Amino acid sequence: MAALDLFGRRWNLRIVWELRHGSLGFRALRERCDNMSSSVLRQRLTELVEARVVEQWPDTTYTLTDLGHGAYRALRPLVRWSDDWAAALAEEH
């Protein structure tokens, strides 16, 4: 339930998604997350750092931890399903 609570919060899964290929600075991450407010991004990053899903490097970039990469791997089946869903919806129109 704790994982569902963490990842059910708005933006947390998006942050994991955006960090899946490597480290990003705060500004770049904010831009990739549709320019969410700085205060919300700081709050979400703090939650993910405390949960040990994300870590902040001394150069102030953020990256996924091993646990964060595991969360991303767990999302891949959902991404595949989402592609199938989008294709099925497109067939209807």
Instruction: Give the list of residues 6+ apart from residue 66 with CB closer than 8 angstroms, or none.
Output: none
* CA separation for the pair 88, 55 (Å, rounded): 38
> What is the rounded distance in angstroms from the CA atom of residue 39 to the CA atom of residue 47?
12
Strand runs labelled E in 2-91: 54-56, 62-64
* Distance (Å, whole) CA 52 – CA 48: 6
Q: What is the pLDDT of residue 93?
A: 76
Question: Cα–Cα distances in Å, from 31 out to 21, 34, 60?
Answer: 16, 5, 16
Q: What angle do CA 27, 30, 31 make, to 5 degrees?
A: 90
Give the domains, in start order, of the chain with CATH numbers.
2-92 (1.10.10.10)
Please give the radius of gyration of the chain, using alpha carbons only, rounded to the nearest integer.
14
pTM: 0.88
pLDDT 10s digit of each residue in the chain, 93 long? 999 999 999 999 999 999 999 999 999 999 999 989 999 999 999 999 999 999 999 999 999 999 999 999 999 999 999 999 999 999 987
